Amino acid sequence: MAEVSFPGDGQDGEQPSPGGPARDETAGAPADGGRDSTADAPESDRPHDGRDDPRLPGAPTIPDDWDPAAEEAAFLADLEAGRIPQEWEIEGPAVSISLGDATDIDPAELAAMLGPDGLGGEVFAQDRPANAMRPGPVLAALTERAVGERDRLTDNELLGALSAARRLAARAEHLELCAIAEFTRRQDARHQAAIAAKVPPGRREGEFADTELGYELVMSDNAARDRMDMASALETRLRATSAALAAGVIDGYRAFLIWRYTRLLTDADAAHADQVLTDAAPHLRYDQLARKAMALAMKLDPDAVKRGKEKARADRQRVEARREDSGNACLNGRELAVEEVLASKAHIDAMAAALRKGGLAGNLRHLRALAYIDLTQGRDPLDRITHGDSAADSNGRPGGGHGVGHAGADADADTTGGGDQHDNANEGAADGRDCLDSDPYKDDDHDAEGRPGEPPRDLAPFPALINLTIPAATLFGLGNAPGDAGGWGLTDADDTRRLAQAASLDPRTRWSLTVTGADGTAVAHGRARGRHRFTAGGGGRDGPAALTELLRDLNVTLTPIARGSCDHCVREDRYTPSRKLQDLVRARTTRCTAPGCGAQACYCDLDHSVPYPAGITCQCDLGPVCRRHHRAKQAPGWQLAQPEPGVMRWTTPSGRVYTTRPTAYDCDDPPPRDQADIEVRGNA
């Protein structure tokens, strides 16, 4: 297909293009098949109209019978048939793809695959070329076609297409990392130049490159920085890993594991580990590769591994609570000393064995969890034996007292935490078999008398030091929309009601109400004064009556939350907003307004989008911004605008714009447009 335009010089315009034959002539020969009549003429006698001037290199000869009108008609016919691109289609640099570079297969085989009878799924069979073809545009076309007709593929071909898709994904990740590496190189150069120029921290160009990348990839700054470090390492230190990823031999997560366990090594040691791990990675599961990489790093540079371990312990040691995927909870210590963890585990194992010998129901897994919960809440697990809690309760949960010295009803109250729902519910026995004497820490696999795993009946009061966002319908059994326990995550309807009841027992808990519109965003908010008790189930009253009574008891005065425009009714003539204004802004937007940031608003700065005093202290100029993104906003090239209340428009130094909007609460089924849902929020 010729790349031409009309009108103008060329085979479809008024004259043929220089160096190219007309439609009815052969290149390099006169159109009439004879000798050019001007060939022997003196140079001064030859025509100089620019069409066949020999002084113009490659100038062709115009045939006498050349018909511009016919050429124009032929061009228009080709254009209408789609055989010739329009001018707007061929403007700019052309793109060409070499099939020889894109594939490592025989040209005849490639022609067969790409011919009219090709592109079938049979090319993905294990002994066919597409099954091992390098990722690229040809493999992408073949895979698209094959998977589009996947019902026609054999199992052999289907697995081949699946493998091809994984190679293409690896290649795509390689391209992404190449772009990230170049972005990192540029930003680091600018940052180093700013440091050399003695620009103060917070004002240096390139200082918040990880934040900018995080906006684009919708991830945290830490995750973005890891991505940048990995991309740079693959381009400079881990070339074998990079090549394997580009060829689709390994996937992105295997490349990540190789980088993670070699990042503390010297360049020479990293190069050695790179080759060893890249050769092994395609044949190892993720956990096996991680183990091999860690062992290799320990052998190559044990001091570096030790320094990394000590730094992680100093920087990231913590106790964290989080939500399990099942909806249960997890409490664990991170970055602890190995010997301390082993000693603690041994102590918990011993407690669980003692509880088993004392006759408590449940297998050792559940008894370990029971001892763990007791120990972390200041109770002695052995008091469960002292108080005769040797049988499971009516729900199959191991019995247990609330703590040392409790007697009577308190001694019989069940406070066992939730069991491990991923394990076999039939494991465990409750008869204290003698076989445990030989191995007191071994889990048994016999039927237990009970089935631990239910939440406890009696609730220990705790203050709502986090925001508990609870749909009112859920609170009173009228709906099943999940609650939200601050940074903890979603809670199902039963847990939500139990949390609300437990929090209400503590005198430090305070209630607030947020009214949401049909789109789930907040439209009004108010905080209740004093302490208010709540009983799950409404104390015998039906849901609507219990809700009405609670709202009457809270006696909250609601303040509208600005949406779309602002009348400045809560504007304040000072820099620091009042508690009331803070509540309104944080009810409207419950997280940091930066793209991809999950920091809770209660821990964020309330930032003036337009700096005070040019900006006002009002809903329309305030937004929660975590400290990191607050600093980024003030760096060169960064801008934050709030075109309407709660709509935050971030502009990064690269000129890209990202917009975030007010929080949409997870309410029940969307109500009619003229109704609103109520969110009841408990916070300290």
Q: What is the pLDDT of residues 209-222, one digit of tens each?
A: 999 999 999 999 99
Lowest-pLDDT range, 419-423, 581-585, 626-630?
Answer: 419-423
394's tokens = 């009516």
**3-state secondary structure (DSSP) of residue 356:** helix
Question: How buried is residue 656: exposed, middle or buried, by Cβ count under 10 Å (0-12/13-18/19+)?
Answer: exposed
Task: Tell me 78's DSSP state.
Answer: H
Rounded Cα–Cα distance for residues 175 and 136 (Å): 11
pLDDT higher than 60, residue 432:
no
The answer to whether the beta carbons of residues 22 and 16 sit under 8 Å apart is yes
> Closest Cα partner for 259 from 235, 284, 279, 283?
235
pLDDT in tens, 51-89: 444 444 445 566 677 787 887 787 777 767 666 665 655
pLDDT for the residue 474: 75
pLDDT higher than 50, residue 45:
no
What pLDDT band is residue 130 in, cutting at 50, 70 and 90? confident
Per-domain boundaries in the chain = 1-95, 107-165, 171-316, 344-438, 468-560, 579-660
Lowest-pLDDT range, 204-218, 430-444, 597-611?
Answer: 430-444
What pLDDT band is residue 282 in, cutting at 50, 70 and 90? very high
pLDDT greater at residue 535 or residue 11: 535
> Closest Cα partner for 204 from 604, 638, 605?
638
pLDDT for the residue 145: 84
pLDDT for the residue 329: 86
Residue 315: other Cβ atoms inside 10 A: 9
pLDDT for the residue 510: 79
Torsion over CA of 604, 606, 609 and 612, rounded to 10 degrees?
-140
pLDDT in tens, 156-181: 989 999 999 999 999 999 999 999 99
Lowest-pLDDT range, 119-128, 133-142, 342-351, 534-543?
Answer: 534-543
pLDDT for the residue 178: 97
pLDDT in tens, 527-549: 888 777 776 655 555 566 777 77
Lowest-pLDDT range, 253-262, 307-316, 485-494?
Answer: 485-494
Lowest-pLDDT range, 41-45, 174-178, 560-564, 654-658?
Answer: 41-45
pLDDT for the residue 44: 46
pLDDT for the residue 641: 96
pLDDT for the residue 647: 96
Note the maximum CA span of the chain: 128
483-485 and 490-491: which strand pairing?
antiparallel
The answer to whether the beta carbons of residues 663 and 593 sit under 8 Å apart is no
pLDDT for the residue 197: 95
pLDDT greater at residue 4 or residue 270: 270
CA separation, residue 294 to residues 229, 273, 309, 363, 396 (Å)? 19, 10, 12, 34, 43
> Closest Cα partner for 376 from 316, 452, 320?
320
Rounded Cα–Cα distance for residues 217 and 529 (Å): 43
pLDDT higher than 60, residue 560:
yes
605-608 and 622-625: which strand pairing?
antiparallel
pLDDT higher than 70, residue 154:
yes
CA separation, residue 241 to residues 197, 248, 256, 275, 293 (Å)? 36, 10, 9, 8, 13
The answer to whether the beta carbons of residues 353 and 441 sit under 8 Å apart is yes
pLDDT higher than 50, residue 516:
yes
pLDDT for the residue 488: 64
pLDDT greater at residue 1 or residue 372: 372
**3-state secondary structure (DSSP) of residue 471:** strand
pLDDT greater at residue 679 or residue 291: 291
pLDDT in tens, 357-389: 988 888 999 999 999 999 999 999 998 886 655
pLDDT for the residue 368: 94
Average predicted confidence (pLDDT) for the chain? 76
pLDDT in tens, 457-514: 455 565 555 567 778 777 777 777 787 776 666 777 777 777 777 777 777 777 888 8
Lowest-pLDDT range, 278-287, 335-344, 459-468, 620-629?
Answer: 459-468
pLDDT higher than 90, residue 649:
yes
- Looking at the chain, the whole-number percentage of residues with pLDDT higher than 90 is 43
How far does CA 11 lie from the centroid of its chain? Answer: 54
453's tokens = 């795993």
Lowest-pLDDT range, 13-17, 74-78, 153-157, 518-522?
Answer: 13-17
Long-range contacts from 105-111, C-beta under 8 angstroms, 24+ separation: 105/129, 105/133, 110/138
The answer to whether the beta carbons of residues 510 and 528 sit under 8 Å apart is yes
Lowest-pLDDT range, 277-281, 294-298, 504-508, 613-617?
Answer: 504-508
Rounded Cα–Cα distance for residues 337 and 309 (Å): 9
Q: What is the mean pLDDT of residues 115-141?
A: 74
Write phi, then psi, for 529 (nearest 5 degrees): -95, 145
pLDDT higher than 80, residue 262:
yes
pLDDT for the residue 349: 92
The answer to whether the beta carbons of residues 514 and 584 sit under 8 Å apart is no
pLDDT for the residue 131: 77
